[in-house]
Structure formats: structure tokens, C-alpha cells
Amino acid sequence: MELTGHNATEIEAIINTEVDRQYRAAQREQDAAGLPIPATGILRARAIVELLRRGADTNTTGSRSSALVILPVTVDRYGTPTGVHTTDGTEIDPITAAVLACDAHFRQVIVDPSNNPLNMGRTVRLFTPAQKQALIIRDGGCVFPGCDQPARRCVAHHRIGWDHGGLTNTEDGALLCPRHHGLMHSNQRWIILRYNIADLPPDLLEAHQARAASAQLEPETDVRVIKTPAGRLLLAQNATDHHGPAPKRRQTAA
């Protein structure tokens, strides 16, 4: 397209801002996963695609919001509630949580001390809305190392493809942005693996434990790892990487 005057100036500024963000994201990916930083033309193309996707996600019809706000409710190993918070880590007091639970735009999801959703469904061909909400709580956004794409711009990916016997369970799903989802399905061998914490390489174990400690969560025993085409193992991201440490859990009476 060809634009002139103030429209051209405004659009150019918007595109350049997103190109800068794409470049910073590419730098993080290079540091985390060793991916090369693309040429400026590719970054500009990615920026335009991203801006179009954002616009397409905007709800322009109807009076009701298209957003669904999820409130994770943390329980201890005995099932006793220990805290309610938003997916970005803001703690919600019990009265506010009770009021919000009556709103159709809010949904409570029960999570364990490691922030994993509980009882969110069994195997089906496609991920159900409930399972997708569970992935949003656990992953927070794209799980690819260094990616900053939020959950609303991600799709639910089967760790093992359905056609190859994979199951549509939350533990076998992962949120990926469109670009990294395409990378997983490319001819390159990018693979999401699951490791028992006892089998993690020392560097990944240290990073996994440090991440859990900073979020005041118990380290998960089942850890997702991304294997690069060169065989390098990378720690997959989760909600802590996207939203930072979780709020402190309220102490319950003995």
C-alpha cells in the first residue's frame, strides 16, 4: 500500500515501534535458544503480521467484552484454599474473589501448590475451552525460550501430534505463538520433551529450582524441556517467566 501525509507518518511510527519490539524479542531468542537475528526486512514483515493479528483479535461488535478473566485458586496438598490471584500475579482478597466469581466474565480454576490446574478434562481430539484456560494459567504465554507473546496470541499445541498417538491432555499441551508453533511443525527437529526433575541436567535443574523459588512455588517434578535441532536442551517457559513471581500465599489457620 502507499500512504501519504499524516497517515504515512503515523503508520510508519507504529510499524517501527513494533519492529523494535521484534528485534528485542529476537535478541532474547538468540540468547536463550541460539536462533539467529533475522534481517530487517523479515523483522518488518513480522511486525506487520503481528499488528494485523492484534487488530483481528479486537472485538468491534456487541456490547459485551470478548475477554474472559481467569482467577486461579491455589490449594495445598490437602485441598485447602491458600490464595486467589489473577494470572498476572495480583492477589485477590476473599470478598473480592467471591464477588467476581458471580460475574460471567470471570472463571475460577483450582491449581495445586506448583500452580498446575487440577481436574481440567480428559482426552479429546481438540483442546477444550477448559483445557485452554488451564494452559493459560500454567504457561502464561508462549513457552518458547525468550518469547514474550502473551497467551491471547498463542495456540494450544500437542507436544506429541494427534496423528502420532498424542493425547489432548493439559500435561501434553503447550501454548505457542504462531511463529514458534510453525517452527515446531517445520522440517527442523524442535521438540518439546517432558523430564522428571531427577533427570534434568544440572544447569536446567538449577534454573528450574530458581524459577520456582522466585515465585514462591514448589518445583514441579514433571518439567518441560525444548530440544533444539542441534540437540541442545532448553527450559521451556511458564507463567512465571511471563508474569514474574506469584503473590505470597496467605497463611491458613492450623
Task: Give pLDDT tens digits along the chain (254 positions).
Answer: 787 777 788 888 899 999 999 999 999 989 988 889 999 999 999 999 999 988 877 655 544 444 456 777 776 666 667 778 776 677 777 666 655 655 555 666 666 666 666 544 334 567 878 788 889 988 999 999 999 899 988 988 888 876 677 777 888 899 999 889 888 888 888 999 999 999 999 999 999 999 988 888 888 899 999 999 999 999 999 998 988 765 555 554 44
pLDDT at site 120? 41
Q: Please check whether residues 36 and 86 belong to one and the same domain.
A: no
Q: Please check whether residues 155 and 30 belong to one and the same domain.
A: no
Give the 3-state secondary structure of 1-50: CCCCHHHHHHHHHHHHHHHHHHHHHHHHHHHHHCCCCCCHHHHHHHHHHH
Q: Please check whether residues 207 and 105 belong to one and the same domain.
A: yes
In a domain, 164, yes or no: yes
- Count of other CB atoms within 10 angstroms of residue 164: 7
Q: Please check whether residues 105 and 146 belong to one and the same domain.
A: yes
How many structural domains compose the chain? 2
In one letter, which amino acid is 103? D
Backbone angles phi, psi at 142, to 5 degrees: -60, 135
In a domain, 180, yes or no: yes
Q: Please check whether residues 124 and 162 belong to one and the same domain.
A: yes
User: What is the domain extent for residue 82?
Assistant: 69-243
In a domain, 60, yes or no: no
